Amino acid sequence: MANMFKALADETRMKVAFALCQEDELCVCDVANIIGSTLATASHHLRTLKKMNLVKYRKEGKLVFYSMDDDHVRQLIKLASAHRQEMLTVEH
């Protein structure tokens, strides 16, 4: 569990994972566009998340599409996002 949270503790990787939670799957260029990074940066973080078994990929020609590999992780990210929104509401 610690490795999973360590992987998601990086702000950019959390942005990548959150983006993948919003869609069924995304190509590297879509991820880069959503998180506002270069293709190299997005690809690096997707590779790290893949090594941690948090995302999976499939190839279609030259394109590579990524998706969350575990619905439990998807649920954790969505729950953390909802909690953050509640905390922001309480603060105001």
**Which CATH number do you get for residue 62?**
1.10.10.10
Structure confidence at residue 70 (pLDDT): 87
Structure-block tokens of residue 82: 């909802």
The range of the structural domain enclosing residue 77 comes to 2-91
Q: pLDDT 10s digit of each residue in the chain, 92 long?
A: 898 999 999 999 999 999 999 999 999 999 999 999 999 999 999 999 999 999 999 999 999 999 999 899 999 999 999 998 888 888 76
Structure confidence at residue 66 (pLDDT): 98
Task: Specify the number of domains making up the chain.
Answer: 1
Integer Cα distance of 31 and 34 in angstroms:
5
> Is the distance from CB of 10 to CB of 54 less than 8 angstroms?
no
Q: Which residues, other chains included, contact 45 with Cβ-Cβ below 8 Å and sequence gap of 6+?
A: 10, 12, 13, 16
Model pTM? 0.88
> Is the distance from CB of 41 to CB of 32 less than 8 angstroms?
yes
